[in-house]
Amino acid sequence: MLKKINKYLVDKNYQSTYEKADSNNFYDRLQIKFAAVVNGQNTYWPIELGNLPVKEEGFEGFSLFQFYIPIVGELEAANYLPICDLIVKLNTKLTIGCFGYLASHNLVFLKHNLIISNENFANNCDIIDKSLSILFFMLVNFQKPLADVAQGNCSVENAMVQMPLNYIYK
């Protein structure tokens, strides 16, 4: 299905490439390059869309997809607790997506999962489009405050004031 989704995305002018599972990657994936102008500067994020293998009984006819987007890496040890605090506050209050910190790679990321039926490709493309729109919104609006805290340039409280919907974090 990822090959068909890749063709759909390329036809819609996304920069997307299909990668088959191999010895380094245990699942098929798309690499989607998201470009945006943020605060007057060109910004790019690599978005990975993977089709995670699921073999559980009763899951036939469905696919499990995961969007994975690295946001900022190379955190200093002093910034670990503040970024984790910010991530917990965001994930608790926001009902879209999930921010996280991957200690093994010293990386703040955004991920979003979908379970979709393999039956209706047009419906799946609509779901992918809507998911990408949500992820783009989250990246454009949350990346800078997350990076500021992760790099020690801002307190958690000041970062939360910068974010959209900041009234819900109180």
3-state secondary structure of 15: strand
With beta carbons less than 8 A apart as the criterion, state whether 75 and 83 touch.
yes
How confident is the prediction for the chain on average, in pLDDT? 86
If you search the block for the tokens 């245990």, which residue do you land on? 26
3-state secondary structure of 121: helix
- What is the per-residue pLDDT for 23? 87
- What is the per-residue pLDDT for 21? 86
CATH of the domain at 144: 3.30.1460.70
Domain range holding 32? 2-169
CA distance 41 to 43: 6
Residue 100 has pLDDT above 90, yes or no: yes
Gyration radius from the chain CA atoms = 17
**Token pair of 82 as six digits:** 């503040």
Domain total of the chain:
1
Residue 167 has pLDDT above 80, yes or no: no
Q: What is the pLDDT of residues 14-67, one digit of tens each?
A: 999 999 988 888 888 999 998 876 667 777 889 999 987 777 777 788 888 999
Stated pTM of the model: 0.86
Let me know the angle formed at the C-alpha of 137 by 150 and 79, rounded to the nearest 5 degrees. 5
Beta strands in 11-148 (DSSP E): 15-19, 29-38, 41-52, 62-73, 98-102, 107-117
Residues 6+ away with beta carbon under 8 Å from 6: 16, 17, 18, 30
- What is the per-residue pLDDT for 130? 92
